[in-house]
């Protein structure tokens, strides 16, 4: 079963990955942009694709892996469909971002140590400032910014998405 899905992902990946690699002229200097586009496509960076990219660019897999693990944006494990980023920048921190994070995790039923829900609907992460500090505390969901939050507002926002997803 696992092997099966693995194989189909792989096949599917190579096509897309080839396109992306080609667009960037197989340039190692474009590695970050290449990985960004691959991640946009698959929501994470599957290991076999990293190896493939390394070969295609003529660099070592360790090099690609090194870059993929260095930057906060990249994930080597599958991420949820909706990415919730809780800002924990200075302004948000002094205005109560920890409480916001707590409420989100509670609402989604995320246990400690887990950032992605089992149904792969949500991933929750903290980021250092999304640059909308005047609206602190701030979260983003799939790049949409929500500001001036309190417990009640956060809960409503998350529940609205949950409802939408459930209703489909």
Which residues contact other proteins (rule: CB under 8 A)? Answer: 27-33, 35-36, 66-67, 70-74, 88-95, 127-136, 138, 143-148
What is the C-alpha to C-alpha distance for residues 84 and 116, in angstroms, rounded to an integer?
10
Q: 24 near 30, Cβ under 8 Å? A: yes
Q: Does 90 bind ligand FES (CB under 6 A)?
A: yes
Of 11 and 143, CB closest to other proteins: 143
Alpha helices of the chain — where are they, by DSSP H? 2-23, 31-42, 47-57, 61-70, 90-94, 97-108, 151-167
Q: 110 near 124, Cβ under 8 Å? A: yes
Compute the least distance from the CB of residue 97 to ligand FES, in Å.
7
Of 51 and 99, CB closest to other proteins: 99
Compute the least distance from the CB of residue 132 to ligand FES, in Å.
5
Interface positions with ligand FES (CB under 6 A): 87, 89-92, 129-133, 136, 138
């Amino acid at each position: 079963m696992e092997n099966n899905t693995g194989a189909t992902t792989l096949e599917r990946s190579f096509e897309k990955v080839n396109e992306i690699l080609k667009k960037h002229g197989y340039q190692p200097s474009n590695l970050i942009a290449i990985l960004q586009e691959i991640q946009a496509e698959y929501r994470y960076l599957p290991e076999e694709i990293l190896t493939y990219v390394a070969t295609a660019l003529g660099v070592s897999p360790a090099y690609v892996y090194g870059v993929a693990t260095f930057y906060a944006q990249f994930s080597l494990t599958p991420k949820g469909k909706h990415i919730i980023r809780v800002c924990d920048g200075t302004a948000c921190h002094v205005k109560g971002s920890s409480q916001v994070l707590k409420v989100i995790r509670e609402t989604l039923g995320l246990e400690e140590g887990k950032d992605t829900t089992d149904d792969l609907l949500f991933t929750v992460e903290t980021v250092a400032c999304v640059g909308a500090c005047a609206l602190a505390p701030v979260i983003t969901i799939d790049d949409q910014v929500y500001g001036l939050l309190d417990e009640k507002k956060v809960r409503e926002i998350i529940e609205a998405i949950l409802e939408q997803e459930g209703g489909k």
